[in-house]
Amino acid sequence: MFMLASSVSFAQNTLTITTRIADKLAQLPAENGGEYNKNAAEMISWGKAGIVELTTMLTPAGTSDNEKIEFAIGGLTYYVNQAGQETARKLVSEAYAEALGKIKDRDNQAFILFQLQQIAGNEAVPAISAFLNDEYLSGRAARALGRIRTESASQALLSALPNAKNTAQLNIVQALGDAAYAPAAGAIEKLAGSGNAKLQKSVLYALGEIGAVSSQSVLTNAAKAVSYQFDNTNATSSYLQYLSRLNQNGQGAVAEKAALELINKATAANQTPIRSAGLKLYTDIKKREAVPVLVKETLRGTDSKYREAALALGQKYMMAEGALPWTAALVTAKPNVAAEIVTMLGNAKAQDALTPLTKLLSSKNSGVKLAAISAIAKIGQEKSLPALLSLLSKSNASETQAVKNALFSLKGDGLTSSIANVLPKLPAPAKSAMIDVLAARGATTYSNLIFGELNSKDAAVKNAAFAALKNTASSDNLPQLFTLLNSTSDAGQVSAIQNAIKSAISGAGSKDAQTALVMTQLASSNKKGALLPILASIGGSKALSSVVDAFKGNDTALQQDAVSALSNWSDGTAAEELYKIGQSTSNATYRDQALTGYIQAINSSSENAVQKVLRLRKAFELAQTDVQKQKVLRELVKHKTFNSLMFAGQFLDVPALRQTAAQTIMEIAKTDKHIYGPEVRALLEKCLNTLEGSESNYQKEEIRKHLSELPKDEGFVKIFNGKDLTGWKGLVGNPISRAKLSADSLAYKQKIADEKMRTGWIAKDGELVFTGKGDNLCTEKQYGDIEMYVDWKLAADGKEGDAGVYLRGTPQVQIWDTSRVKVGAQVGSGGLYNNQVHDSKPSKVADNQLGEWNTFFIRMIGDRVTVYLNGELVVENVILENFWDRKQPIFPMEQLELQAHGTVVSYRDIYVREIPRAEKFELSAEEKNEGYKVLFDGTNMFEWVGNTTDYVMEDGNLVCRPTGRGHGNLYTKEEYSDFTFRFEFLLTPGANNGLGVRAPLEGDAAYTGAFELQILDNTADIYKKLEAYQYHGSVYGMIPAKRGFLKPVGEWNYQEVTLKGTNVKVTLNGTVILDGDFKEATQNGEKIPDGKNHPGLFRPSGHLGFLGHGSVVSFRNIRIKDLSKVETVVEQAAQKGKKAKKNKKKK
């Protein structure tokens, strides 16, 4: 047996490699690092043969799809080139090397050579070398070998060199340079001066990288030949690289000599770069010992760029004695050079230079003095403050400026007090400069000094003082500032005072207090206009009316100030006033300001995206120019909703708005794959032909990708075309009465209803309007599970506004005027008005005021309804009751209706998405005959009571999704004593639930009912230590069930439970796991194994219930046979099927 098994498994292994590759490819690319590592490890486990097979699956570009194979190979390559993967690296490298010989396509060979460039070692050298003389692939091969950097790889390159020609020769030379392979120097030197500029470049590059002593003359001559200038062979650069490599290779003396030669001889004006490079090389070799040379070169350098190079090196290599060599040199340096040295010492923050440099503050040379000011500030910070301030009594303009600049970034706490001390005595230019510094540092402590200078006779000082008010005034200065504002007429000064008040008032208590303060001033001020911007900066609704009044008055100047203030209102409270101004004004400037302010107000409000889109659509009505319209469309992008996309879509055909609309549509669509449907698709396809600009190629690519990834079902479909009533019909009766009509009489009544409908409903300008007379408007189509968008609006002047959306032909999602307190409308719209058992009220009021549009998003799955009103969740997963017959669940399919309730109402943008349904569960013929009754078929929860919020319907399943930590219990509506209960369930890891029987609707059903049959993931670690009677299927706490018959977590289990008197039988997936009598097991209830009190044990009947324990469990296909009634049913069924049906219905 063993032998046989082993040979079979061998055969399977060879067979499965191909399958395993295919399986793995299907999983690529890996979604994350963990998957990536797992995939790579698995691919390595295929061994060399497997990887060779994978690699040889590559096909020539354009013939079929290489993507997955490239993901596999690329992933493998990068996985094995990390530390700790040496064995795998070698294996993969060998596999690639072998595959190279088998692949014929050049570009696929190139692809593998690139992989080898990342991972190859000696093992791949022979295979790679085979391509060195191939014109097309020599570069790939050479670079792969050059990257290995071992003796044998480089040797392979070198031995291929003598026979290599053209491109191959150049590639090999270049790779030998990449590898810095010293033994190749001689062979490469021989190729120098070939006359071929490309080859010459590679030769010089390689020799520069190698850095062999023997190459010196070749490189020196090449650089000299071009006078150390740039040329296409990069000779100069290669020479410098060569010298630096010489130094690294232990030939410092040779390099130093060459460097000194450059320093001393390359003195022509155009040789400054090479000479500087020589200096750098010399310094790199000598490090700090180079400083004397640097000082000397700085002093004698006539070229500022050369000095710059020397000083930069000097800053890097300050000697052990610090700045001394440099400060010493200051004595003999020419003034311009001295200034450069000072600047360098400042940049180096050379502490020991502080004293000598401070002395230079008295230099007669302006350049030196300016450099010293900046340098000592950088070095000494606060320590240099006295010296700097003392300059100010006699400084010229540029010195004052230099001190001022230095003080802005000077560190230390004493700055403002030191300036304040000297300020009064300073000459005017210095005084204004120091006021600027005090302002920059927010020196409120010295505001009295600033106020004192407002009357300065010197214009510059005065201006500086006004400008400084903003940063130095505090709330204590407000009275002074208000007085000042009243007495000032200069526009610049007024603006400075306003800014100061705006800043200072934030310290004057609450917003209301601040407003009150300004309002008091407003009452007595003769400059009301100047106070309005201050109110705008405070914001809030308190001051709004006075600013609006100012707008309405006759004073044109004040009017301008008012509009400007409103459009700059710092929060959203001015929005409605701005809108009114925009609507009513004939002044184009006001209108533009109002629109800008309105958009700004929307922006700063805390409303949700749906609400902001409604407001922006209003804003669009204000827009008159293309610029204004574009502005609104651009703003829409921020609020990515279905309606914002559809709105932007209206402008794809308007030339001036086309690009903006296309950008908006694209940006919105791509963020949400739930925005889809034929109209969305058409708009995106239109964008493909519309988008322009440098990004458009990517954007189009992205749109195509997005389109291909959208869900495959139809999505949101427009059901009102905006022009007429196509797709709609009048109302005949109700779903139940209609069902009773013959086809003829239904058609007849429909015709009359349609005529009536046309008198009450009008399609106009994209809106669907109910005039107040007639019946409901109904869709011709019937809908089951749906999501829908609909905008609605009650008339502004309409009293008693009332309407609604009927789902499945049944009232209704309520719409009404919230001021109708008498009928309870203050709860808001959106509720399921006709519900009696389940919630009929929305959870909050989210209505907009009468005359404004509102947006509904409604979802109905099974019998559950969710409603969002204006972006707020107002109804969450509530059962819609059947108004027409409360004994039935809601119809599975019916028409949508817009309710006619006698008042004017408008609708627009109605889109419906039909949600594909799981197939409804139906009893088998056998079960029907036996008298089973369906308790849950996936479409409704009509048979259930209790916690209907934690138990929800998803894809035809009944899922326990506990929202809190609560014990979610869901009970059958009816009570049972003896029964057979069949159901399927699916566990999640660690799941815990239970089936309570003969339970009342209150209390802990495991105890108040007869008992609980455990539903549990037995395999979870946390349940390792349970008692035997606590595992799945057990009569909890009493009779243990057999273990080992649950399907793995994540698969459906089928269970049957029969309770007859005190006998319990549980069959799980076809195996009886429990068959016992609880009366016996508990010794007539006297001795219960778990020792707990089970008061409900002998209840004769009760509800069945799922007893949730805070974890997710799904159930489906639930049916029951009532054994106490079953005989009658079976008898009757045997007699006449019709009667049996009737009997069942009565339940």
Within residues 153-212, the interface with other proteins by CB under 8 A covers: 167, 170-171, 173-175, 177-178, 198-199, 201-202, 205
Cα separation, 507 vs 635, whole angstroms = 34
DSSP string for residues in 478-495? HHHHHHHHHH---HHHHH
Alpha carbon 100 to its chain's center = 43
Q: Does 690 bind other proteins (CB under 8 A)?
A: no
Q: Residue count of the chain, please give it.
A: 1147
Inter-axis angle of helices 47-55 and 33-45, to 10 degrees? 110
- Cβ 730 vs Cβ 777: under 8 Å: yes
CA angle (730, 734, 735) in 5-degree steps: 110
Which of the ranges 138-146, 322-330, 591-599, 984-992 carries the binding residues for other proteins, by CB under 8 A?
138-146
Site for other proteins in 238-277 (CB under 8 A): 240, 269-270, 272-273, 276-277
Site for other proteins in 655-684 (CB under 8 A): 670
For β-strands 969-972 and 786-794, DSSP reports them as unpaired
Site for other proteins in 803-842 (CB under 8 A): none
Q: Does 147 bind other proteins (CB under 8 A)?
A: yes
Q: Does 237 bind other proteins (CB under 8 A)?
A: yes
Q: Does 110 bind other proteins (CB under 8 A)?
A: yes
234 or 969, CB closer to other proteins?
234
**List 17, 42, 70, 427, residue binding other proteins (CB under 8 A):** 70
188 or 803, CB closer to other proteins?
188
Q: Does 699 bind other proteins (CB under 8 A)?
A: yes
Q: Does 1094 bind other proteins (CB under 8 A)?
A: no
CB of 764 to other proteins, least distance (A): 40
275 or 618, CB closer to other proteins?
275
Q: Does 378 bind other proteins (CB under 8 A)?
A: yes
**List 24, 90, 143, 527, residue binding other proteins (CB under 8 A):** 143
Which of the ranges 108-116, 354-362, 982-990, 1014-1022 carries the binding residues for other proteins, by CB under 8 A?
108-116
Q: Does 380 bind other proteins (CB under 8 A)?
A: no
CB of 593 to other proteins, least distance (A): 21
Write b or e for each residue in 1098-1124: b if 16 or more Cβ atoms lie within 10 A of its Cβ, otherwise e: ebeebbbbbbbbebbbbbbbbbbbbbe
- Cβ 125 vs Cβ 153: under 8 Å: yes
Which of the ranges 61-69, 859-867, 886-894, 1046-1054 carries the binding residues for other proteins, by CB under 8 A?
61-69
Q: Does 236 bind other proteins (CB under 8 A)?
A: yes
DSSP secondary structure code for residue 786 in this structure: E
201 or 631, CB closer to other proteins?
201
What φ, ψ does residue 679 adopt, rounded to 5°?
Answer: -70, -40
Residue 202 CA: distances (Å) to CA of 283, 683, 1094:
28, 55, 93
- Cβ 393 vs Cβ 425: under 8 Å: yes
**List 55, 93, 109, 115, residue binding other proteins (CB under 8 A):** 115
Please list the residues that pair with 769 across neighbouring strands. Answer: 762, 906
Which of the ranges 302-310, 318-326, 916-924, 975-983 carries the binding residues for other proteins, by CB under 8 A?
302-310
CB of 757 to other proteins, least distance (A): 47
CA angle (767, 773, 778) in 5-degree steps: 60
Which of the ranges 691-699, 745-753, 849-857, 954-962 carries the binding residues for other proteins, by CB under 8 A?
691-699
Alpha carbon 213 to its chain's center = 58
115 or 480, CB closer to other proteins?
115
**List 315, 395, 463, 471, residue binding other proteins (CB under 8 A):** 471
**List 50, 75, 649, 1009, residue binding other proteins (CB under 8 A):** 75
CB of 273 to other proteins, least distance (A): 4
Q: Does 696 bind other proteins (CB under 8 A)?
A: yes
CB of 3 to other proteins, least distance (A): 42
Cα separation, 992 vs 972, whole angstroms = 19
Other beta carbons within 10 angstroms of residue 482's beta carbon come to 22
For β-strands 1052-1060 and 1063-1068, DSSP reports them as antiparallel
Write b or e for each residue in 986-998: b if 16 or more Cβ atoms lie within 10 A of its Cβ, otherwise e: bbbeebbbbbbbb
**List 104, 364, 411, 1025, residue binding other proteins (CB under 8 A):** 411
**List 16, 17, 25, 29, residue binding other proteins (CB under 8 A):** 29
Assigned token pair, 300 = 């004698």
Site for other proteins in 594-633 (CB under 8 A): none
Q: Does 482 bind other proteins (CB under 8 A)?
A: no
Which of the ranges 231-239, 576-584, 840-848, 1112-1120 carries the binding residues for other proteins, by CB under 8 A?
231-239
Q: Does 309 bind other proteins (CB under 8 A)?
A: yes
DSSP string for residues in 645-684? HHHHHTTTTSTTTHHHHHHHHHHHHHH-TT--SHHHHHHH
**List 556, 694, 708, 836, residue binding other proteins (CB under 8 A):** 694
Site for other proteins in 734-793 (CB under 8 A): none
- Cβ 208 vs Cβ 242: under 8 Å: yes
Helix (H, G, I), strand (E, B) or coil at 507: coil
**List 17, 225, 422, 440, residue binding other proteins (CB under 8 A):** 440
Cα separation, 531 vs 514, whole angstroms = 12
CB of 606 to other proteins, least distance (A): 14
Residue 560 CA: distances (Å) to CA of 544, 565, 624, 817:
15, 8, 20, 38
**List 367, 733, 760, 772, residue binding other proteins (CB under 8 A):** 367
Please list the residues that pair with 914 across neighbouring strands. Answer: 786
Q: Does 335 bind other proteins (CB under 8 A)?
A: yes
Give the residue among 978, 950, 943 at the shortest CA–CA distance from 965.
950
Instruction: Report how many residues bind other proteins under the rule CB under 8 A.
Output: 101
Amino acid at site 374: S
Q: Does 28 bind other proteins (CB under 8 A)?
A: yes
Cα Rg for the chain, rounded, in angstroms?
A: 44
Within 8 A by CB and 6+ apart from 432, the residues are 458, 460, 461, 463, 464, 465
Q: Does 568 bind other proteins (CB under 8 A)?
A: no
Q: Does 481 bind other proteins (CB under 8 A)?
A: no
Q: Does 442 bind other proteins (CB under 8 A)?
A: yes
Q: Which helix (H) or strand (E) holds 794?
A: strand 786-794
**List 182, 312, 519, 1123, residue binding other proteins (CB under 8 A):** 312
CB of 285 to other proteins, least distance (A): 14
Cα separation, 929 vs 969, whole angstroms = 31
CB of 199 to other proteins, least distance (A): 7
Cα dihedral across residues 1043, 1047, 1049, 1055: positive or negative: negative
Q: Does 1078 bind other proteins (CB under 8 A)?
A: no
Within 8 A by CB and 6+ apart from 488, the residues are 494, 497
Site for other proteins in 78-107 (CB under 8 A): 78-83, 107
Other beta carbons within 10 angstroms of residue 718's beta carbon come to 16
Q: Does 151 bind other proteins (CB under 8 A)?
A: no
CB of 70 to other proteins, least distance (A): 6
CB of 39 to other proteins, least distance (A): 8
Which of the ranges 7-15, 33-41, 869-877, 1090-1098 carries the binding residues for other proteins, by CB under 8 A?
33-41
Cα separation, 352 vs 326, whole angstroms = 11
Q: Does 404 bind other proteins (CB under 8 A)?
A: no
**List 410, 594, 652, 1066, residue binding other proteins (CB under 8 A):** 410
